Amino acid sequence: MINTDNLPNDLKSLESQIVELRLKMEDMEKKNPSNKLSMVVFSGDMDKILAAFVIATGAVAMGMEAVMFFTFWGTPVLRDKNKKPGQKDIMSKMFGAMLPKGTCEVKLSRMNMAGMGTAMMKSLMKKKNVASLEQMLEMAEELGVNIYVCEMSMDLMGFKREEMINYQNMTFCGVAKFLEEAKDSRIQLFI
Amino acid sequence: MINTDNLPNDLKSLESQIVELRLKMEDMEKKNPSNKLSMVVFSGDMDKILAAFVIATGAVAMGMEAVMFFTFWGTPVLRDKNKKPGQKDIMSKMFGAMLPKGTCEVKLSRMNMAGMGTAMMKSLMKKKNVASLEQMLEMAEELGVNIYVCEMSMDLMGFKREEMINYQNMTFCGVAKFLEEAKDSRIQLFI
Amino acid sequence: MINTDNLPNDLKSLESQIVELRLKMEDMEKKNPSNKLSMVVFSGDMDKILAAFVIATGAVAMGMEAVMFFTFWGTPVLRDKNKKPGQKDIMSKMFGAMLPKGTCEVKLSRMNMAGMGTAMMKSLMKKKNVASLEQMLEMAEELGVNIYVCEMSMDLMGFKREEMINYQNMTFCGVAKFLEEAKDSRIQLFI
């Protein structure tokens, strides 16, 4: 005859092992990155910003979340050309004047040729049905792409929040916020 | 005496918990990225393309899969200088003429100095036994590095498939394909 | 009455299933990336290097490990302006003279304007309490950011180890070492 004396104890041991496994698994699951794409948009070049938006909107179209962290030369691209900032010191005025004001003023990173190359590219994009940066930005807003704007860059270049475009999911934040998102993302890029 | 009345039920409960854990784990395993590297090669600069190939071939040498997605200025680098495209409109002809035709025409991103810096770098690479871009491309093909070419860029710049180099694992595709690969990769870079 | 004849065998089967799950889970855990950030610092531009250090030190401040792999134009930035290399061939001498010697000689990627833009940015950074590159480097060292220097780049540009700054966690290595770190990282960037 089979001895079943130890069975209840064995069962309890098994049960506690299962509980332990489950906790470990939940812990691992929490650490798993979300179905998200995070990118730093450092560049202020038309071509790179176009690539950034194509990637971000493409990701959302695929069911991913997308986060764009605009910093340094990327920041002025989010200015609204029709908005006027209030009082500024001389340095901020100089930066303000020298940097592109919004998506329509950005230039190609190469072959700009005093603006001719950029104009050529814009006309080509129209002809080939590639969305312009303005359309991309609209699309991104509709699709719910999150735009973060680097506060340090805003401060350095003397930009004010009231100069920036209206965009639903726009947040002003620091690098820590970006890193948090990036850590929780399946894809991270620096553009 | 120990009461064993509930044992069979307890066992069934444990078994179903184990099944549940197993399914959860298989699900997590499926979501885990593959041992793969995905990169966007946006740049058309000799130095950056060299870096891209060093990283891609290095990854394969380490047992990883490698995917290079050539877009924008990276695209013309994959043209074959000995192949002639058919009829082209004027814009495409202009782009075709202004952009480097193949790996041997690309330039350094800085210190090009009217080609002198690039020539200097090429001679240095030879002297120091660093593979040239042409050799890198060959090595990448042999190692099975996957090259994806961005169809939107091809279209924008008016490049035709018959102009491109012969490369075994070359696919023409869109950004969605890249994102799929990147999502499933342990390393992603934008170069 | 309940039949308990098969109980011991059932228990053993459950136990072996649990062991199997545990092994699988440990295997998955080993493959999970560490709480680490790895970046390639390819660029030698002041603004990009600043961004790289802001990100790296920010990551460590958040409890992550950080690895910076300096390659190509990033390499000369790690030279110590007060150290003199020994004998060099003519090519190495040329590179040595043309490339920035240390963090204080790097320039903005745009709006350098013969050094005026870079000077303006430096004064702005001071005014806005943004750490200079020199301070960033110090902070990185204190925080334990790992700096890897690409041996191929050192060799190509003719830099010698004795020319480089003193930095506690500095290692000279190849691309394989970077890939190993990147594979095991939650965030990877190419700057």
- Give B72-100 pLDDT, tens digit per residue: 999 999 999 899 888 888 888 888 888 88
Contact A93, A99 (CB under 8 A): no
Over 70: is that where the pLDDT of A117 sits?
yes
Cα separation, B99 vs B106, whole angstroms: 9
pLDDT for A72 equals 95
Nearest Cβ partner of B18 from C21, C155, C176? C21
Residue of B nearest to A191 (CA): B190
Q: What are phi and psi of C13, to 5 degrees?
A: -65, -45
Task: Answer whether A188 touches B (CB < 8 Å).
Answer: yes
Which residues on adjacent β-strands are paired with residue C190?
C40
Task: Answer whether C7 touches A (CB < 8 Å).
Answer: yes
Nearest of C41, C102, C33 to residue C67 by alpha carbon: C41
Residue of C nearest to B113 (CA): C98
The band of B178, judged by pLDDT with boundaries at 50, 70 and 90, is: very high
Task: Answer whether C68 touches A (CB < 8 Å).
Answer: no
- Give B113-139 pLDDT, tens digit per residue: 778 888 888 988 999 889 999 999 999
pLDDT for A1 equals 39
Task: Answer whether B16 touches A (CB < 8 Å).
Answer: no
A58/B2 touch (CB, cutoff 8 Å), yes or no: no
**Average per-residue pLDDT in chain B?**
91
Task: Answer whether B173 touches C (CB < 8 Å).
Answer: no
Average of per-residue pLDDT across A139-150? 97
A124/B91 touch (CB, cutoff 8 Å), yes or no: yes
How many DSSP H helices and E strands does chain C contain?
7, 5
Task: Answer whether A91 touches B (CB < 8 Å).
Answer: no
Over 60: is that where the pLDDT of A7 sits?
yes
C22/A21 touch (CB, cutoff 8 Å), yes or no: yes
Cα separation, B126 vs A51, whole angstroms: 34
Distance from CA of C36 to the nearest CA of A (A): 9
pLDDT for B12 equals 83
Chain B residues within 8 A of C21 when measuring between CB atoms: 18, 21-22, 25
Task: Quickly tell me which residue has 């490698």 as its tokens.
Answer: B66
Over 90: is that where the pLDDT of A173 sits?
yes
Alpha carbon dihedral B83, B86, B88, B94, in 10-degree steps, equals: 20
Q: Between B108 and B11, whose confidence is greater?
A: B108
Distance from CA of B16 to the nearest CA of C (A): 10
Complex ipTM: 0.91
CA C3 to chain centre: 64
Task: Answer whether B90 touches A (CB < 8 Å).
Answer: no
Over 80: is that where the pLDDT of A12 sits?
yes
The band of B9, judged by pLDDT with boundaries at 50, 70 and 90, is: confident
N residues, chain A: 191
The band of B13, judged by pLDDT with boundaries at 50, 70 and 90, is: confident
Residue of B nearest to C92 (CA): B124
pLDDT for B5 equals 62
Segments in chain C below pLDDT 50 = 1-2
Over 60: is that where the pLDDT of B190 sits?
yes
Nearest Cβ partner of B21 from C21, C152, C179? C21
Contact A42, A71 (CB under 8 A): yes
pLDDT for B4 equals 56
pLDDT for C161 equals 94
Q: Which of C4, C27, C124, C129 to mutate: most A Cβ within 10 Å?
A: C124
Chain C residues within 8 A of B55 when measuring between CB atoms: 40, 175, 178-179
C186/A40 touch (CB, cutoff 8 Å), yes or no: no
B94/A5 touch (CB, cutoff 8 Å), yes or no: no
Contact B180, A62 (CB under 8 A): yes
Distance from CA of A127 to the nearest CA of C (A): 30
Question: Which residue type, as a one-letter code, is found at position B89?
Answer: D
Nearest Cβ partner of C72 from B35, B47, B128? B47
Over 60: is that where the pLDDT of B167 sits?
yes
CB neighbour list of residue A131: distance below 8 Å, 6 or more residues apart: A125, A139
pLDDT for C1 equals 38
The band of B2, judged by pLDDT with boundaries at 50, 70 and 90, is: very low
Task: Answer whether C18 touches B (CB < 8 Å).
Answer: yes
Residue of C nearest to A155 (CA): C128
Over 80: is that where the pLDDT of A64 sits?
yes
Question: Which residue type, as a one-letter code, is found at position A60?
Answer: V
Task: Answer whether A159 touches C (CB < 8 Å).
Answer: no
Nearest Cβ partner of B176 from A7, A15, A58? A58
C55/A175 touch (CB, cutoff 8 Å), yes or no: yes
pLDDT for C5 equals 62
B37/C94 touch (CB, cutoff 8 Å), yes or no: no
Nearest Cβ partner of C51 from A72, A155, A176? A72
pLDDT for C184 equals 96
Task: Answer whether A18 touches C (CB < 8 Å).
Answer: yes
Nearest Cβ partner of C18 from A21, A72, A98? A21
pLDDT for A3 equals 53
Number of Cβ within a 10 Å radius of residue A94: 16
Average of per-residue pLDDT across A87-115? 85
Q: Considering Cα of C16, then C18, then C20, then C26, what sign does the dihedral take?
A: negative
Task: Quickly tell me which residue has 């990276």 as its tokens.
Answer: B74
Question: Which residue type, as a one-letter code, is found at position A177?
Answer: K
